[in-house]
């Protein structure tokens, strides 16, 4: 069937286990052959009793039947051990391959892909593919082998009776083709909806604080119940289809049994076949019937696996837009940061075909000398984050180029480029690990995660130095387990400011040549911000830094400042120069000062009211 062609992608994963697969199939064939001999022995026993054979002969045949049954049982155990074991190993390899491939994909892919959908594919779909890679192959082989051996012995007993028994089964291929396609389509619908359901659950669990803050528990429960009810409906449609398959197959097999009973009984009466042959034929028909009924389940497994493999192949087929150069250049060793240059850079976020483009940056040019600090300031949506994201090549610009020490960053390998950078994004994400492991995350390839909570000696000095610069050392010291303190998911047991400081420490701990801070202190109070900036001045003395912030206080001491407005550089210069011009920069600072003044007045008024109420009798 055309719908099963997606399962061809399993071949490379099965190839390393071809010996186990071959041994498992050998067990299938051998157990099928020995199992088919049991009715033949029973035929000899029945005919022997009818002919008056010695009782000892019957005992011998009974012993042979028992021995054969034991050997067949052992072979069937080996069959399952091998085939199911292969499917588990294939699942293991495929899960690793999927995760490895996801790690190669870039920001544009994840910007347009739901996390819940990915989780559904990595769990539910992968399980369905495993069933197709092992149990389905095993039972299909067992069905074919058992059916062929049964047919062989049935023809030996009576070709005419065999033909009559098989006539109702001529409809089987048409039934299987129709039902198989329907199962495939309906299972795809089920899996797609399961992805939607998983996404809803994932978003609600991650955003539980927002849900409760806005008292939307009831609404979210109702929405989830509606999605769950639709999932149930789609599953019931699939179940009804699968439920109809077995009765249809059983009906076809039953019609064959009726024909055998009528014609076979007549042949026995006429003496055309013996009683023992008639009994054996009935058993062989049963052996043939069960595989045919099991064939429905096997087809169901293959169709489910094919539908899920199609969804997994969509992940494997995805390719990153941002890749390393085929023949990458290398940077010379540096002692005092790197020169960073933007030349006419224009950028817009990737959009689906047909959607209008909104440029996040246009015609941006500037140069930051080695060891210098660039401040990037502007209102929300002015393009600050986009500018920062282009430097480690989370995205590539559509216009212009970015250079480090005169080398276009597209000509560098991604590993080397990102190894030069310490990056603090606007949203500080911490892992469910110790706070020390989070700070040490970038110190070695693959991270320096410490899942047991012990403090390794490697990187300890960098870890503590970075924590001091980020003003996080006293906070960590207050925890009973210090750097071994476990954090919750996404660092949920830290405040917003603490998470930002931990992310800053993580960026500094690797002592990078180029430091990128994207509104990294937005959740920190002004006093702590001043302390951090004071420490940063020393820490960044021999490093190139780009600090993007909507707060002018965070970038006023930068060696050079650019002011962005709707993606364009509208002003640039030093703090004093920009203030003297009375332009956009001055307006931003004036507005922030007014906002701070209003906040101070409100705070003083509240404090006065509190004191007044305390003094009243």
In whole angstroms, give the CA distance from residue 245 to residue 184: 14
CATH architecture of 431-510: 3-Layer(aba) Sandwich (3.40)
Residue ranges of the chain with per-residue pLDDT less than 50:
2, 445-456, 603, 606, 610-617
Where do runs of H (alpha helix) occur along 353-451? 384-390, 414-419, 435-439
Where is 569: in which H helix or E strand?
strand 568-573
pLDDT tens digits for 551-578? 888 888 888 999 999 999 999 999 999 9
Quick one: CA dihedral 457, 461, 465, 468, positive or negative?
A: positive
Quick one: CA dihedral 87, 90, 96, 97, positive or negative?
A: negative
CATH architecture of 8-178+241-317: Up-down Bundle (1.20)
pLDDT tens digits for 370-391? 999 999 998 888 999 999 999 9
In whole angstroms, give the CA distance from residue 416 to residue 396: 16
pLDDT at 613: 46
Shortest CA distance to 183 belongs to which of 84, 298, 293? 298
Domain chopping of the chain, boundaries = 8-178+241-317, 336-420+512-583, 431-510
Q: Which residue has the tokens 């190839």?
A: 15
In whole angstroms, give the CA distance from residue 350 to residue 113: 13
In whole angstroms, give the CA distance from residue 293 to residue 418: 58
In whole angstroms, give the CA distance from residue 564 to residue 383: 7
CATH of segment(s) 336-420+512-583: 3.40.50.300
Two tokens, residue 493: 């047991």
Order the strands of the 421-424 sheet from edge to edge.
Answer: 421-424, 514-518, 544-549, 373-378, 560-565, 568-573
- DSSP-derived letter for residue 50 is H
CB 341 within 8 Å of CB 364: no
Q: Which residue has the tokens 């610009």?
A: 397
Alpha carbon dihedral 547, 552, 553, 556, in 10-degree steps, equals 70
Asked if the domains at 8-178+241-317 and 336-420+512-583 fall in one CATH topology, the answer is: no
């Amino acid at each position: 069937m055309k719908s099963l062609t997606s399962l061809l992608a399993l071949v490379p994963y099965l190839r390393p286990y071809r010996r186990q697969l071959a041994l498992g199939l050998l067990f299938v064939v051998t157990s099928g052959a020995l199992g088919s001999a049991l009715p033949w022995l029973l035929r000899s026993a029945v005919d022997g009793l009818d002919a008056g054979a010695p009782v000892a002969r019957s005992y011998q045949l009974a012993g042979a039947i028992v021995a054969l049954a034991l050997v067949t049982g052992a072979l069937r155990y080996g069959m399952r051990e091998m085939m199911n074991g292969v499917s588990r190993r294939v699942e293991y390899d495929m899960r690793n391959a999927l995760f490895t491939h996801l790690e190669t994909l870039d920001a544009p892919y994840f910007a347009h892909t739901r996390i819940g959908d990915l989780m559904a594919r990595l769990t539910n779909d992968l399980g369905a593919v495993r069933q197709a890679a092992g149990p389905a192959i095993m039972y299909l082989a067992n069905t074919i082998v058992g059916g062929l051996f049964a047919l062989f012995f049935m023809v030996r007993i009576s070709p005419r009776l065999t033909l009559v028994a098989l006539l109702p089964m001529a409809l089987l291929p048409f039934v299987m083709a129709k039902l198989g396609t329907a199962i495939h389509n309906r299972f795809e619908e089920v899996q797609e909806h399961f992805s939607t359901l998983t996404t809803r659950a994932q978003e609600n669990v991650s955003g539980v604080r927002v849900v409760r803050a806005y008292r939307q528990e009831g609404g979210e429960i109702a929405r989830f119940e509606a999605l769950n009810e639709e999932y149930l409906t789609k599953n019931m449609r699939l179940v009804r289809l699968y439920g109809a398959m077995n009765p249809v197959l059983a009906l076809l097999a039953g019609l064959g049994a009726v024909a055998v009973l009528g014609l076979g009984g007549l042949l026995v009466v006429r003496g055309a076949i013996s009683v023992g042959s008639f009994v054996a034929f009935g058993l062989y028909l049963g052996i043939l019937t069960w595989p045919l009924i099991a064939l429905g389940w096997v087809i169901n497994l293959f169709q489910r696996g094919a539908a899920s493999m199609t969804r997994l192949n969509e992940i494997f087929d995805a390719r990153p837009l941002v890749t390393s150069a085929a023949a990458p250049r290398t940077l010379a060793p540096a002692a005092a940061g790197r020169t960073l240059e933007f030349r006419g850079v224009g950028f817009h976020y990737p959009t689906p075909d047909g959607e209008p483009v909104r440029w996040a940056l246009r015609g941006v040019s500037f140069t930051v000398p080695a060891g210098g600090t660039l401040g990037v300031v502007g209102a929300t949506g002015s393009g600050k984050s986009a500018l920062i994201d282009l430097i480690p090549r989370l995205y590539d610009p559509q216009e212009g180029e970015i250079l480090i020490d005169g080398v276009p960053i597209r000509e560098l390998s991604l590993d080397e480029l990102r190894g030069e950078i310490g990056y603090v994004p606007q949203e500080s994400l911490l892992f469910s690990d110790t706070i020390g492991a989070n700070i040490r995350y970038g110190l070695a390839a693959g991270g320096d995660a410490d899942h047991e909570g012990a403090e390794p000696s490697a990187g300890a000095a960098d870890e503590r130095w970075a924590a001091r610069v980020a003003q996080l050392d006293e906070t960590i010291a207050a925890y009973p387990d210090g750097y071994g303190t476990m954090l919750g998911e996404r660092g949920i047991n830290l405040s917003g400011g603490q998470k930002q400081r931990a992310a800053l420490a993580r960026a500094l701990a690797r002592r990078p040549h180029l430091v990128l801070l994207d509104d990294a202190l937005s959740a920190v109070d002004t006093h702590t911000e001043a302390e951090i900036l004071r420490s940063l001045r020393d820490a960044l003395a021999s490093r190139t830094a780009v600090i993007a912030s909507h707060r002018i206080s965070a970038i006023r001491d930068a060696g050079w400042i650019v002011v962005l407005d709707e993606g364009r550089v509208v002003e640039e210069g030093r703090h004093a120069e920009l203030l003297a011009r009375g332009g956009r920069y001055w307006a931003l600072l004036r507005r922030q000062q007014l906002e701070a003044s209003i906040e101070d007045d409100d705070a003083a008024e509240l404090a006065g009211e509190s004191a007044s109420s305390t003094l009243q009798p």
